[in-house]
Amino acid sequence: MFKKILIANRGEIACRVIKTARRMGIATVAVYSEADRDARHVELADEAVLIGPAPSRESYLVMDRIIEACKATGAEALHPGYGFLSENEQFARRVEEEGIAFIGPKHRSIAAMGDKISSKALAAKARVSTIPGHNAPIESPDEAVKIARRIGYPVMIKASAGGGGKGLRVAFEDKEAFEGFTSCQHEARASFGDDRVFIEKFIEEPRHIEIQVLGDAHGNCVYLWERECSIQRRHQKVIEEAPSSFLDDATREAMGKQAVALARAVDYQSAGTVEFVVGRDRSFYFLEMNTRLQVEHPVTECITGLDLVEQMIRVAAGEKLAFTQADIRRQGWAIECRINAEDPFRNFLPSTGRLVKFRPPPEGDGVRIDTGVEEGGEIPMYYDSMIAKLIVHGRDRNGAIAKMREALNAFVIRGIASNIPFQAALLAHPRFVSGQFNTGFIAEEYPQGFAGTAVPEDPDFLLALAAAAHRRLRERAAAISGQLPGHELRIREDFVIVLTNRDGQREHTPVSVTSNGPEVQVSIGGRSRRITLDGALRDIVIHGKFDGRPFCAQLERVGHNYRIAHDGVTIMARVLAPRAAELLALMPVKAPPDLSKFLLSPMPGLLVEVAVQPGQRVLAGEKLAVIEAMKMENILIASQDGVVAEVAAKKGDNLAVDQVIIRFE
């Protein structure tokens, strides 16, 4: 077994590898960029080596510096994590040539699976199901019908040069295939000057399900069940679970055997993942193989009891797998939520800055936190947006969902925006709870983005919580000693809860509040509700019971308001005396400033391009500037016609949110 390994990565995956290595008695070496000097993975490792400036292309992606760090520290092996160089065949080969063990597959396996076309050819040769299709140009409508029958309906008829939805038809029977071919051909000729058309199987209500495989250098290979990864936003996974509620045992076994067959075909020696698209009839087809550890590997660890990082290390050290396929258990249900530094209320734009508060729910009892950050740490703009992974393990799917909902409600992040409200809303969505979803779920349910305005299961709950908290604070104020006789604070029972929406419109709800020991009774709309609060209100995370049912929510005082968040719904409530509410209703709403003549930075980031100059006339839809943040380029376009009066920022500037970039006349 190795005595020392280097982790060629950062963030939560570096911390994750260090945790297992420490348990195995292996010393660890961290590498870090200048932006990560105070990062958690640097603090946890036994040694740390600076490898360059903040941009990853000058640090984490520089092979020479990482290999030099291995040699300088005497590390015998290297774990690449995921992302960066983890699936770089050239890097794996160089590490092997330097006599350093690569804790991952051999470079030849990475190369074989790295090309989409050749990997599908390999899969077909290994008798793995691939999407049926006819990739040669089709000559006539009659030929199109014959091919469609051979493939099996429904089919997708696509123009070779198609795009933007043009030259694409879905056919469910012969007549639609005949007419669809003719339409596609005409449309393609008119739009692209290229009338070549081909056909492939159309997967209805597709799901993204992947199989975890594990192989060693002695010819052993097993599959560790599946992960359901269909909850995606713009092809990025948001929630993963294991197992999948959609698969039956026969399909599960068939997919597992095919994944192992593919792994054997490329002599796969490590942990890897074979991804499939699965139709609503449970037909499944190979997509690609990820030749590395996956972000969502913890859900597999939860249901199997295996440490995948440990298995990777043991395989790289030449050990045989200590178990067979028959030994691998499948126990309970696990769900993972990716907690990202992005603002769901601003179209998921990246959010960077200092973590003023970072208080995950307590670990244990089926709750696990994988993270690379700490309270007070910085979320830099140079890397991906992941803050943490929240993983739960329950007896069954309903139990895991309930546990995850409570954990999300108890996860406190302040200082930057996070996607926790969106995650909480997804976990409470009836379609997710029922398991009736596919890869189009988020696009279908949130076509206009996420506003956090979903109707809660019980609309009275958030209002009752605000009223109960206000009552508790008034009781505490009334108990302060030394109040002037005759002028003591008197606790009233009637209040008005005022909610103000984004347009400044106010909604007034009269309530009556009485206290009976630890229980507060709130009358809303003529209905009496009972609520108890456990713990101090200063803790933000509030536990208690509402009409006898336990709950977990976040509550904090913001100026004169109470900000309350629960299951993805957030309200700002003001609790007033009836007369104060009457006077507030007379107060004019302050209109937001007119910012139509400014281009503001929607996120913190690096201004990499300004595409206009002062005096230039621009048209709606024209590119104005490009901002780089968290490994993504964001193009800012003009929302209307105008003339540039001033360019207030220059290329290379680090921008803050809402910083002025361009002013228009």
At residue 303, the pLDDT reads: 98
Residue 141, phi then psi, degrees to nearest 5? -60, -35
Amino acid at the residue 508? H
Tell me, what's the pLDDT at 452? 76
pLDDT of residue 164: 56
Per-residue model confidence (pLDDT) at position 395: 97
Q: pLDDT value at position 68?
A: 97
Give the DSSP letter string of 170-223: EESSHHHHHHHHHHHHHHHHHHHS---EEEEE--SS-EEEEEEEEE-TTS-EEE
Q: Estimate the crossing angle of helix 249-265 against helix 116-125, to 10 degrees.
A: 110
Per-residue confidence (pLDDT) for residue 594, from 0 to 100: 84
Task: Give domain 133-201's CATH architecture.
Answer: 2-Layer Sandwich (3.30)
Provide the pLDDT confidence category of residue 612 given band limits of 50, 70 and 90.
very high
Please, which pLDDT band fits residue 361 given cuts at 50, 70 and 90?
Answer: very high
CATH class of 105-131+206-331: alpha beta
Q: For residue 219, which amino acid is it?
A: G
Is-same-fold flag (133-201; 344-446)? no
Distance of CA 535 to the CA centre of its chain: 31
pLDDT at 414 over 70: yes
10 pLDDT band, cuts 50/70/90, is very high
Q: What is the pLDDT of residue 196?
A: 84
- The confidence score (pLDDT) of residue 117 equals 65
CATH class, range 460-478+489-586: alpha beta
- Summarize the confidence of residues 206-218 as an average pLDDT: 97
Rounded Cα–Cα distance for residues 210 and 244 (Å): 10
User: What is the predicted pLDDT for the residue at 135?
Assistant: 67
Burial class, 527, CB count within 10 angstroms (exposed 0-12 / middle 13-18 / buried 19+)? exposed
Q: Which of 270-274, 456-460, 623-627 has the lowest mean pLDDT?
A: 456-460
Q: Which pTM value belongs to this model?
A: 0.87
Average of per-residue pLDDT values in the chain: 92
- Mean pLDDT in residue range 271-275: 97
- Active-site annotation holder among 288, 310, 445, 622: 288
Q: For residue 47, give the nearest of 98, 5, 16 by alpha carbon.
A: 5
Query: How does DSSP classify residue 528?
Result: E
Band of pLDDT at residue 165, cut at 50, 70 and 90: low
Q: What is the pLDDT of residues 84-133, one digit of tens each?
A: 999 999 999 999 999 999 999 999 999 999 876 678 889 999 999 988 88
Residue 190 is predicted with a pLDDT of 75
Fold of 598-664: OB fold (Dihydrolipoamide Acetyltransferase, E2P) (2.40.50)
The residue among 203, 367, 204, 355 whose CA lies nearest residue 286 is 203
CA 3 – CA 162 distance, rounded (Å) = 55
606 alpha-carbon distance from chain centroid? 23
Q: CATH for 344-446, among 1.10.569.10, 3.40.50.2300, 3.40.50.2000, 3.30.470.20?
A: 3.30.470.20
pLDDT of residue 160: 73
What pLDDT shows up at residue 163? Answer: 60
Residues 6+ apart with CB under 8 A from 310: 20, 23, 24
Structure tokens at 113: 């699976």
Q: Return the pLDDT at 115.
A: 77
Which one, of 127, 302, 308, lies nearest residue 214 by Cα? 308
Q: What is the mean pLDDT of residues 13-26?
A: 98
Confidence of residue 455 (pLDDT cuts 50, 70, 90): low
Every domain of the chain and the residues it spans: 4-103, 105-131+206-331, 133-201, 344-446, 460-478+489-586, 598-664
Are 93 and 268 in contact by the 8 Å Cβ rule? The answer is no
Rounded to an integer, what distance in angstroms lies between the CA atom of residue 506 and that of residue 572?
11
Check whether domain 4-103 has CATH 3.40.50.11810, yes or no: no
- Name the least confident of 15-24, 205-214, 357-366, 450-459: 450-459
pLDDT at position 540 over 60: yes
To the query of whether residue 288 is one of the catalytic residues in this protein, the response is yes
pLDDT the model gives residue 136: 76
Distance separating alpha carbons of residues 662 and 658, to the nearest angstrom: 11
Per residue in 59-90, pLDDT tens?
Answer: 999 999 999 999 999 999 999 999 899 999 99
